[in-house]
Amino acid sequence: MAVKTVQDLINEGVEGRHVLVRSDLNVPLSDGNITDPGRIEASLPTLRALLEAGARVIVAAHLGRPKGEPNPNFSLAPVAEALSERLDMYVPLAADVTGEDAHERSNGLNDGDILLLENVRFDPRETSKDDAEREEFAAELAALTADNGAFVSDGFGVVHRAQASVYDVAKKLPHYAGGLVETELDVLKKVSEDPAQPYAVVLGGSKVSDKLGVIEALAPKVDKLIIGGGMCFTFLAAQGYEVGGSLLQEDMIDTCKDLLERFGDVIALPTDVVVASEFSKDAEHRTVDLKSIPAGWMGLDIGPESVTAFAEILAGAKTIFWNGPMGVFEFENFAGGTKGVAQAIIDATSHGAFSVVGGGDSAAAVRTLGLDEDGFSHISTGGGASLEFLEGKQLPGVSVLDD
């Protein structure tokens, strides 16, 4: 691919130019406070580079799913505040996306200034299935950059979406890959095209259906595919175990049987689980082997025996990709599996393994559980994007940058 980078743009000269940057600032909030600023931190290098080079930076981003209309619960106001603190400069928030306030503020930018547009998903055209509607919105975004603008795609967490601020706007302006997108793609190419062997993949999360594509793509390539989280119970049911009230996709049992027949020597499943009487952080719970899951009880984590077995696999790996928690890590009583496997990945990394945390809940778990982020080779900002890349799918927000 012949993709120009943000450094190419800076080399061309950005003083006096408006540069529209699509960042991924979709951070989790609790009572209006940001609980995990990871994506904000990841966006800073590209923004700083442009600002220091004299660009007039306009940042477009989304937060949550406001359903195509303004909603104060999904305002980017907390993000503007966090950016102001980290960039050590005032980051104003436009009152709209492409309206009068956004135009006035973008016209008033000086070299080295920055503006954050309000949530692009406040406009229904951002995610419209109608090409003409998306293009119309993209044209309005491009118009904010005046006559000599440029577009930098730096929101890796959204490049798998053909949305107006990700895909269509790149067709309307000279376009470049931001530093974050560059890094993410380089890392994922390393684990997908030429991984050092042995190669171990750890998949968790709730549904087999969400991970089926990546299982099919990776199982023939890896030495071990460790499966935990809620999705493991559909595999266990396929092996004939009674899984009680655990999360179960009955329509996927035959699919899991087929996967086990084809890749049984590669797939590693738990041998014990932590079960609970109900889905609650204070629920009565116990660790049981697979034959002893009580009727009506639900598995909410993998057990310590499984953690030990998985850790032994990971200790011998040279490349590790992890996407999805091993249990309900948000509840302390059911966080042991995720924490144990994550620590095993950190230990393997310290002995030379190349490890990638595939974004999403896995990245959130690393921070929530107080694990050392520097203990992993790379923590992705895009769970869905990283999985689709490994499946071999084309990412619209990347392919559109190809000249």
* Local mean pLDDT, 10-residue blocks, the chain (403 residues): 91 96 95 90 97 98 95 97 97 97 97 98 98 98 95 96 97 97 94 93 92 92 96 96 95 96 96 96 95 95 98 97 95 96 98 92 90 94 90 94 88
Question: H or E segment at 56?
Answer: strand 56-60
Annotated binding site for substrate: 24-26, 39, 62-65, 121, 161
User: What residue spans of 290-382 are helical by DSSP H?
Assistant: 304-315, 336-350, 360-368
Reading the block at residue 272, the tokens are 């014990």
CA–CA dist 312, 325 (Å, integer): 18
CA–CA dist 304, 45 (Å, integer): 40
Annotated binding site: 24-26, 39, 62-65, 121, 161, 211, 299, 330, 359-362
Reading the block at residue 400, the tokens are 């559109």
* Residues noted as catalytic: 39, 207, 360, 384
User: What residue spans of 108-238 are helical by DSSP H?
Assistant: 131-143, 179-193, 208-218, 232-238
| Long-range CB contacts for residues 284-288, cutoff 8 Å, separation at least 24 | 285/333, 285/334
Report all structural domains of the chain as residue ranges with CATH numbers, in order of start.
6-179 (3.40.50.1260), 187-391 (3.40.50.1260)
Per-residue model confidence (pLDDT) at position 34: 93
Annotated binding site for ATP: 211, 299, 330, 359-362
Rounded to 5°, angle at Cα 86 from 81 and 92: 35
- Secondary structure letter of residue 124 according to DSSP: G
Per-residue model confidence (pLDDT) at position 156: 96
CA–CA distance from 77 to each of 26, 95, 279, 356 (Å)? 12, 10, 34, 31
Per-residue model confidence (pLDDT) at position 361: 86
Per-residue model confidence (pLDDT) at position 1: 58
First to last CA, the chain: 8
Per-residue model confidence (pLDDT) at position 360: 81
CA–CA distance from 221 to each of 5, 193, 319, 364, 387 (Å)? 31, 10, 12, 27, 15
Reading the block at residue 257, the tokens are 């049987």
